[in-house]
Amino acid sequence: MIRKDEGKCLKQTIGNLGESLARNYFEKKGYAILQTNWRIRHLEIDIIASKNEVLHIIEVKTQKKSTAGFPEENVTRKKMKNLMVAADHYQMIDKRWKALQFDVLSIILGQPEHEFLLIEDVYL
């Protein structure tokens, strides 16, 4: 039987692995990683990156292959609203960005390879 704190630890470990894979994924695609796990109050942006003069606010969702459903299904309307608020705060600090885009990177951990799905320009 898995204790509640063990389940939380496993979820955090999977999340950390996903964010590491995501950084590599975006760097290989020519993105410049500006920030990871950027926080303002209770809000967090997993990855802030830039490419072609566009600021990318990226939510990373990761799960094991055996889990039902798809990781991107866990990006709720509330999460997107929180990302938008956090992005507004970030743009107050770094005012050089005229173009902004919200993206979701879905990662399914698998053997032998992981599956990546990039959903670009996400809006409510």
Q: What is the pLDDT of residues 53-106, one digit of tens each?
A: 999 999 999 998 777 789 999 999 999 999 999 999 999 999 999 999 999 999
Whole-number Å distance between alpha carbons of 97 and 41 = 22
State yes or no: pLDDT of 6 exceeds 80.
no
25 Cβ neighbours under 8 A, 6+ residues apart: 105, 116, 118
pLDDT band with cut points at 50, 70 and 90 for residue 3 = low
Stated pTM of the model: 0.89
83 in Cβ contact with 38 (< 8 Å): no
pLDDT tens digits for range 39-56: 999 999 999 999 999 999
Whole-number Å distance between alpha carbons of 44 and 79 = 10
State yes or no: pLDDT of 4 exceeds 80.
no
